Amino acid sequence: MAVLYLSDPARGAVFHAAFAKALPDIAFHIGEAPDPLAVCWLVTWTVPTDLKRYPNLRLIFSVGAGVDQFDLAALPPGVGVVRMLEPGIPQQMQEYVTLAALALHRDLPAYLGQQRSGLWKAGRNMPAEDRRVGVMGLGVLGQAALAALRPFGFPLAGWARSLRQIDGVECFTDLDAFLARTDLLICLLPLTAETEAILDAGLFAKLPRGALLVHAGRGRQLDHAALIEALDEGQLSAAVLDVTAPEPLPHGHPLWSHPQVILTPHVACQTRPVDGARHVIGAIRADLAGTPIPGLVDRRRGY
C-alpha cells in the first residue's frame, strides 16, 4: 500500500519523514508512484487527470482546508475526500480575522489613505459594543474566528445552514435577519454551488448602510463588480479581502488600488507540513482500522 504526494516537494519531504517514522510499512512517493496499483491514498491540491491509473485509490487528501478545487461529482464513487484539519489553520485564521476586523473597526483603510496624502485628521473611534460582527459559516474556522473576537466586546452573531448553539453568539439560519444586524461581515464559507457569488449586490443591500466586509472564504463567493459598486456608492465602507477570483487579480483591476480595500494574497492560513502530515497519518490509520476518518467530506454537500 502506498501514498502518492503530488504537492510542493519540499513540504512533501516533511511528510515523507513523518511517514517513515509513523507508518514505515506504507510506501510514500513524491510526484510519481513506481507501482500505480499500490496507490491507496493521494495527497494533493488538484486531482490529476489520469486518476484511472490508481484503481485501488481509497482517499484523496486536500493539502488545504478547502476541497472546492476538486470536481467532487467527477471523482470515482468509492473514493473519499478528506480536507486538511491541522491546528495551525484555525490559529492562523484567528490571527487574520482579528487583524482584518480590527483594521476595519479602527478605520485603517481611511488612515492609510490619509497618510499617503499627508493628512493628519482624527476620526471618532466607535466603541466595540456598537459594532455588530457577523460571521458567515460556523464550522472550524467560523467558530475559531468568533472565539478570537470575543475578548474585544463586539456583539457577535453567526450564520450557517443548520442552527448552531455557541456561547455568546447569536446564531442564525435566516440570512436576511442575520445581515440586518451585521455591521461587520466576515465570510468564512466553503465554496459550493449554494455559496458561489453569495456576496453580491442583493446581499450587500441587506446590510446596514456603511457596513464593512472581511472575506477569507473563496474568491468565487464574491461578486467583485458588486463590491466595487457598493463601496463607491457608500453601501459598504471598506473591505479586507484575502481571496479573489482569479488569483492574482489581473493587472490594473480596480481592487488593486481601491482606497477602501486592503488586499492580501490568500495568506490567511497556510498548512504547516508537520501538522498536516500528522493529520494525514491519523486519517490513514483510521481508514485502515475502519473507524471514522477525521475531515472526511460529505461529497454531495460539497464541504
What are the residue numbers of the active site?
A: 218, 266
Determine the 3-state secondary structure of 20 from DSSP: helix
Residues 89-108 touching ligand GLV, rule: CB under 6 A, are none
Residue 86 binds ligand NAP, judged by CB under 6 A: no
Residue 172 binds ligand NAP, judged by CB under 6 A: no
* Partner residues linked to 215 by β-bridges: 187, 241
Q: What is the spatial distance between Cα 129 and Cα 181, in angstroms, rounded to a whole number?
A: 13
Comparison of 91 and 114: residue with beta carbon closer to ligand NAP: 91
The residue count of the chain comes to 303
Q: What is the spatial distance between Cα 230 and Cα 228, in angstroms, rounded to a whole number?
A: 5
Beta strands across the sheet bearing 2-5: 27-30, 2-5, 39-44, 59-62, 80-82
Residue 226 binds ligand GLV, judged by CB under 6 A: no
Q: What is the spatial distance between Cα 208 and Cα 167, in angstroms, rounded to a whole number?
A: 25
Comparison of 211 and 263: residue with beta carbon closer to ligand GLV: 263
Q: Which does 162 bind (CB under 5 to 8 A by kind): ligand GLV, ligand NAP, none?
A: ligand NAP
Q: Where are the alpha helices (DSSP H) in 9-87?
A: 9-22
Which residues are CB-contacts of 265 (< 8 A; sequence separation ≥ 6)? 242, 247, 248
- From the list 128, 206, 221, the residue with the least C-alpha distance to 172 is 206
Pick from 266, 282, 286, 296: which binds ligand NAP (CB under 6 A)? 266
Q: Give the three cell numbers for residue 242.
A: 484575502
Comparison of 15 and 159: residue with beta carbon closer to ligand NAP: 159
Comparison of 224 and 272: residue with beta carbon closer to ligand GLV: 272
Determine the 3-state secondary structure of 33 from DSSP: coil
Q: Which does 244 bind (CB under 5 to 8 A by kind): ligand NAP, ligand GLV, none?
A: none
Pick from 65, 146, 186, 211: which binds ligand GLV (CB under 6 A)? 65
Comparison of 233 and 247: residue with beta carbon closer to ligand GLV: 247
Determine the 3-state secondary structure of 224 from DSSP: helix
Q: Give the three cell numbers for residue 292.
A: 471514522
Pick from 66, 109, 273, 295: which binds ligand GLV (CB under 6 A)? 66
Smallest distance, ligand GLV to C-beta of residue 199, A: 16
Residue 15, CA atoms < 13 Å, CB-side half-sphere: 30
Q: What is the spatial distance between Cα 222 and Cα 272, in angstroms, rounded to a whole number?
A: 27
Smallest distance, ligand GLV to C-beta of residue 181, A: 28
Q: What is the spatial distance between Cα 216 and Cα 202, in angstroms, rounded to a whole number?
A: 20
Residues 123-152 touching ligand NAP, rule: CB under 6 A, are 137-142
Q: Which does 186 bind (CB under 5 to 8 A by kind): ligand NAP, ligand GLV, none?
A: none
Pick from 161, 206, 253, 278: which binds ligand NAP (CB under 6 A)? 161
Smallest distance, ligand NAP to C-beta of residue 153, A: 24
Residue 198 binds ligand GLV, judged by CB under 6 A: no
Residues making contact with ligand GLV (CB under 6 A): 64-66, 84, 269, 271
Instruction: Report the interface residues with ligand NAP, using CB under 6 A.
Output: 65-66, 89, 137-142, 160-162, 188-192, 194-195, 216-218, 242-243, 266, 268-269, 303
